């Protein structure tokens, strides 16, 4: 089977490279290396950090994007996951750097290259409307609110958000019943159970599901531990957690996730198309897969 190239809209790095600390050359290396995995476009995702470092990394990523060659996965923009989150659902993010999601605070890091912002809508003081008017996609994440007005999507469904409740409202429940909300989901077999995946794929329209890896820098490296988001993260061969057992991002890239979904009969080729529609973009190239959804050939450009 032949499909479009994969688009990764939520990745913190791989091959030992962390988008929060990477140099231009490291980013260029990563964007070339991931083409071997059929990834033709990527939104480098920044975790919570101090304002100075966030601004610095935005510039590094932008300059790397300007130096890309046709044999690299296109840097499509930045996904700003950090800063505007709820400490109750912080995950591995460092809450000492959290700010309220206000227009004034956002302007401290604002840049046209930021295309996605994850925030806690319960704290919003006008930023959601501001971002909407700027054409930036707002995603609810690391939050507890079930009121998702103005949000185009949710970030890693079920993870770091209020779960399904049979009374009242919650982030996950609101995302599931709203057919207009896009839902990122990590289908690596660690972050969301297979039964929960079955529920999502029954409840959500197939064209509103965004497969992500949420890959950590430790992914596809020879490292078993490293610092990420001010925390020491340990990889045991299956999952990456902090010393306190807090689950961090994934250690599986998108092709591995697709192969796994196929093996449990939950994969739909529509999932590959969805990021193209969500972001209204096009990439030249294709992937050829065998009948078990293993990549046989990648053509970039």
Question: Do residues 32 and 68 make contact, with C-beta atoms less than 8 angstroms apart?
Answer: no
267 has pLDDT over 90 = yes
Dihedral-angle region of residue 130 (phi above 0 means left; psi in -120 to 50 means alpha; beta otherwise): alpha
Average pLDDT over residues 78-84: 96
In this predicted structure, the answer to whether residue 166 has a pLDDT above a threshold of 90 is no
pLDDT at 129: 98
Q: Check residue 230 and give its pLDDT.
A: 87
**Average pLDDT estimate for 137-153:** 97
**Whole-number pLDDT of residue 165:** 80
168 band by pLDDT with thresholds 50, 70 and 90: confident
Q: Which CATH superfamily is domain 2-300 in?
A: Metal-dependent hydrolases (3.20.20.140)
* Domain-wise residue ranges, the chain: 2-300
Quick one: pLDDT band at residue 301, thresholds 50, 70, 90?
A: confident
Band of residue 117 on the pLDDT scale cut at 50, 70, 90 = very high
CA distance 218 to 235: 8
What rounded mean pLDDT belongs to the chain? 97
- Distances in Å between the Cα of 263 and the Cα atoms of 1, 62, 212, 237, 266 are 16, 38, 18, 20, 8
pLDDT at residue 65 in the model? 98
The mean pLDDT value for 168-184 works out to 96
Q: Mean per-residue pLDDT for 113-124? A: 98
Average pLDDT over residues 241-258: 96
- DSSP letters for 92-118: TS-GGG-----HHHHTTT--TTEEEEE
Please name the residue that has the structure tokens 């919650």: 170
Question: Is residue 23's pLDDT more than 90?
Answer: yes
pLDDT digits (tens, 9 = 90+) for 201-246: 999 999 999 999 999 999 999 999 999 998 999 999 999 999 999 9
pTM flag (> 0.95): yes
- pLDDT for residue 119 is more than 90: yes
Residue 75, token pair as written in the block = 């840097």
256: tokens are: 């591995």
């Amino acid at each position: 089977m032949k499909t479009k190239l994969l688009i990764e809209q939520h990745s913190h790095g791989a091959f030992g490279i962390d988008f929060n600390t990477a140099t231009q050359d490291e980013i260029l290396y990563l964007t070339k290396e991931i083409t071997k995995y059929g990834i033709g476009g990527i939104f480098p995702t920044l975790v919570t950090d101090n304002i100075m470092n966030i601004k610095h990394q935005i510039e590094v990523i932008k300059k790397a994007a300007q130096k890309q060659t046709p044999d690299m996965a296109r840097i499509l923009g930045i996904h700003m996951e950090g800063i505007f989150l709820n400490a109750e659902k912080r995950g591995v993010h460092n809450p000492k750097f959290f700010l309220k999601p206000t227009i004034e605070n956002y302007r401290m890091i604002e840049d046209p290259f930021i295309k996605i912002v994850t925030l806690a809508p319960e704290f919003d003081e006008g930023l959601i409307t501001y971002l909407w008017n700027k054409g930036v996609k707002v995603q609810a994440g690391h939050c507890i609110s079930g009121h998702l007005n103005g949000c185009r999507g949710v970030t890693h469904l079920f993870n770091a958000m209020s779960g399904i409740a049979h009374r009242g409202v919650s982030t996950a429940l609101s995302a599931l019943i709203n057919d207009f909300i896009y839902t990122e989901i990590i289908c690596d077999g660690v972050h969301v159970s297979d039964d929960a995946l079955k529920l999502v794929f029954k409840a959500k329209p197939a064209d509103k599901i965004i497969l992500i890896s949420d890959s950590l820098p430790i992914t596809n490296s020879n490292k078993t531990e490293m610092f990420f988001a001010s925390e020491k993260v340990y990889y045991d061969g299956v999952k990456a957690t902090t010393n306190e057992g807090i689950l961090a991002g994934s250690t599986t890239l998108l092709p591995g996730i697709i192969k796994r979904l196929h093996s449990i009969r939950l994969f739909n080729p529509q999932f590959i198309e969805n990021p193209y529609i969500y972001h209204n973009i096009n990439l030249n190239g294709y992937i050829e897969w065998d009948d078990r959804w293993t990549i046989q050939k990648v053509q970039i450009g």
